[in-house]
Amino acid sequence: MPLARWLSVDTAKKTVIVRLIAAYNGVYGGFNFNGYGKGQVLIDVPQGWRVRVSCTNDSSSLSHSCAIVRGVGTTALAFPGSASPHAQAGLSPHHSTTFSFVAAHVGNFRIACVVAGHELAGMWDVLDVSHRRLPSVTLLRRLPR
């Protein structure tokens, strides 16, 4: 998915919609969000903004989840409500959900699938909450060749 399609921004309401499609394609064996993983993408959100996440599992066989967590290999949520329902079990194939949270404090967090073993397989990217004025999405590094 092109980076420009990851975010929709409503500056008046201080809201950003983040679109995450788990198993978007075959990159990293399907353990990716929107075709990226292993920390390739950085989403930056201003502190105090509402983040609405649309989480879709495009896998035909595996359950996946979307979560904003505190660090590597943890299931501890970075903010109240910052994960898809039953995140450790995951969404069934071809299912979608939404969740919402306020980016209440500045810091570096992980966008991760918290189904056991999936983050280790590469299913994670980065969320920074900062003092920026507007949300942004940045490619940190290209796909391996």
Nearest CA-CA partner of 23 in 90, 100, 98, 69 = 90
Percent of the chain, pLDDT > 70?
A: 98
For residue 68, pLDDT beyond 70: yes
35 domain residue, yes or no: yes
1 domain residue, yes or no: no
144 domain residue, yes or no: no
Global model pTM greater than 0.85: yes
The number of folded domains in the chain is 1
Mean pLDDT of the chain: 96
62 domain residue, yes or no: yes
Three-class DSSP category at 44: strand
Three-class DSSP category at 4: helix
Determine how many CB atoms are found less than 10 A away from the CB of residue 85: 12
145 domain residue, yes or no: no
pLDDT digits (tens, 9 = 90+) for 88-141: 999 999 999 999 999 999 999 999 999 999 999 999 999 999 998 999 999 998
**Calpha distance 19→33 (Å, rounded):** 9
CATH number of 45's domain: 2.60.40.420
Mean pLDDT, rounded, for 15-42: 97
2 domain residue, yes or no: no
12 domain residue, yes or no: yes
Q: Containing domain of residue 67, as a range?
A: 7-139
| The dihedral formed by the CA atoms of 81, 82, 86 and 90, expressed in degrees to the nearest 10 | 160
CB 43 within 8 A of CB 18: yes
CB 48 within 8 A of CB 104: yes
